Structure 1
């Protein structure tokens, strides 16, 4: 009880959890930071279903934020990065089983290399999973020149919209790497919102729909209590506060090149 009260005093208000997934495997010994066991994913989705979470996609969250609408209780967003084959083969059927909407962030070169464009189109046509952009090449934007940044943002949006025949409203920053200039460029490219990752508290302003924090669901989330915390809405504020206390942040050298052009 004392710990709970202390957290309420220290942490800012609850945020809408935006969960970030990548790859999946049926072999538990083959998991990694970005690849989780299918059995764990199924248990996580069952937990959300049994506890009556309100699942929405990233563009729906952006609409709520832009219009100041009140979100239903226990709202949560599911996102899937990179267009891994295992997402289509393993995770998507689980989403279908529960009827959970989600956002898949795809990058153009990745679709071409994996030859998964047809599969992604079939998934998109069913309407459950919306398509978001993850750039053209999946390069970290702060390492690029301004012209390349604009190309990554604009061209990926245009190509995905042409291929899928649907609006591509949200962007996912590769590796979560951003600067203030990149955030502005994302808005100028026509996106309604963008998702990122967690940062040191105070490093970037909270409440900006172009810097929506996400929770990376890694193999450690196989423990029920860990996943419940991730889905609670307090995980991101707690993590950002911890990073600040520990003095952990993205090295400024990473951003120096692009900031010279701003």
Structure 2
């Protein structure tokens, strides 16, 4: 339907152009610009408390500062499932649209986070682990509490049954056995959410942000949308089985740096052509090819950063830019974070992140 509508539009503009009434190139560029402007920033939080692990926490006063910044700077706080539907359907979101998410569904959200959102009339999404919720009731929101907040604009979504690692295969299991266990974890969580709350939004957040292509392929086959923990912005050309979010807890609570991220847009590349985050030893340091979807005249201003390393090397050739770290990546999780100034005088940036896992 979308392609048919566009075809009719272009035919109409072509006919007018023959008579010198419309500049066809200007119209085409305007349509392209409209698509590139349909962007969604998603923030990721865990604990909102003073007495929880610093790496996954934000203090209540800092969280309120984040919310005040969003309000004072007229960000459009949106319901995540609805916003994703609009983006996938080719509809345009309001500029500076932001969705708020919480991983794990900790009980301390009741103290400040959820009441502050309710006071503002803002929605959020809470990703839960039903197995942990059952085992450790004193740490997590109960189903009854989740139902109460579902009725107050909060979406409850899938974080797996017990927050297992999903790509670190145990030595005593075959690859097939391990993958079937992870699929069962996801499907069991979907069933639990549907049973307890009436329906599921079919959104899945990867524990620790780790994933592989077998998992994203399976999510696509089962009409599930996946979220990692790599930073970046969502657009119509994103890979909806491995969407980015900006972490806003721990080392990422600083409002000055968060403000830059909140005002950023998705780098206009083909995200479906990105490689698996899992690295074999012979592929370290890894390279990632960025396939540009539109002509960017200031590609030479693209800068890519690697944790605890010099900036990555960048090679531009035709409509592809190759990004490679200068040194081998350490074991564990690493990211290539890339930024590019948007050449419109706004002072905003395109943002991209490629996650890697060296097991």
TM-score range, shorter chain: 0.7 to 0.9
| Distance across 2 between alignment mates of 1:48 and 1:94 | 13
Matched, 1:93 2:119: no
Task: Decide whether the 8 Å contact of 1:107 with 1:133 is kept in 2.
Answer: yes
| Distance across 1 between alignment mates of 2:133 and 2:248 | 23
| Distance across 2 between alignment mates of 1:46 and 1:214 | 20
| Distance across 1 between alignment mates of 2:260 and 2:67 | 14
Higher helix share: 1
The 3-state SS of whatever aligns with 1:130 is strand
Task: Decide whether the 8 Å contact of 2:42 with 2:245 is kept in 1.
Answer: yes
Q: Which residue number in structure 2 is paired with residue 251 of structure 1?
A: 357
Q: Which residue number in structure 1 is paired with residue 126 of structure 2?
A: 104
Q: RMSD value over aligned CA atoms?
A: 2.9
Higher strand share: 2
Task: Decide whether the 8 Å contact of 1:26 with 1:39 is kept in 2.
Answer: no
| Distance across 2 between alignment mates of 1:194 and 1:85 | 24
Task: Decide whether the 8 Å contact of 1:198 with 1:236 is kept in 2.
Answer: no
CA offset digits 1:74-120 (Å, max 9, x no partner):
10111100011112322101111111111100011121133232222
| Distance across 1 between alignment mates of 2:111 and 2:266 | 29
1:1-262 equivalences in 2 (<5 Å): 15-26=39-50, 32-115=54-137, 116-117=141-142, 118-124=144-150, 126-144=151-169, 145-191=178-224, 193-198=225-230, 207-233=238-264, 241-243=304-306, 245=312, 247=325, 248=329, 249=334, 250-253=356-359
Q: Give 5+ residue unaligned stretches, structure 1.
A: 1-11, 201-205, 254-262
Q: Which protein has greater RCO, CA pairs closer than 8 Å, 6+ apart? A: 1
Q: Give 5+ residue unaligned stretches, structure 2.
A: 1-35, 170-177, 269-300, 313-323, 335-355
CA offset digits 1:191-229 (Å, max 9, x no partner):
2x22112179xxxxx711111101111244554312212
Q: With the length of structure 2 as denominator, give the TM-score of the two structures.
A: 0.59
CA offset digits 1:146-175 (Å, max 9, x no partner):
211210121111111111112232110111
The 3-state SS of whatever aligns with 1:20 is strand
Q: With the length of structure 1 as denominator, give the TM-score of the two structures.
A: 0.79
| Distance across 2 between alignment mates of 1:222 and 1:138 | 23
Between Structure 1 and Structure 2, whose CA radius of gyration is higher? Answer: 2
